[in-house]
Amino acid sequence: KISESQHTNLVSTLHSELKGDGWRTVSRSEAKPGDICIVGADEHVEIVASNENGRITLIGSNNTQGGSGPQVVSYDTYTGNRGDVTFLSE
C-alpha cells in the first residue's frame, strides 16, 4: 500500500520513495494485483489489477480531451505488456 506521506506528482520521486521503503522490482510473471507499474522512463504509474499467466491488466487514470478534461479510471491491457515497464512489489 502506498501511504499518504508518499504522495507526489512526480513519478520519479514515487519510484525512489517506494524503492527506499523496501519495494522491490519483480518480473512481469511475478507481478500481482496491487503492485505498481512504472511506465517508461518514469512517465506514468498504474496499478496491477490482474496477472493471468503473464498477461497483465492495469488500472489507472488519464486526463481526457488532451489533458483539459476530467480524469477517467480505466482498465488497460496494453501498457503492462510493453517492454518498457518496471513492476514494483511491496
Residue 34: predicted pLDDT: 94
DSSP string computed for 45-78: EEEEEEEETTEEEEEEEEESGGGTS-EEEEEESS
**Domains along the chain?**
4-89 (3.90.1720.10)
Walk along the chain (90 residues) and give the pLDDT tens digit of each residue: 777 877 788 899 999 999 999 999 999 999 999 999 999 878 889 999 999 998 999 998 876 777 677 777 888 888 899 889 999 999
pLDDT at 2: 76
Residues in the chain: 90
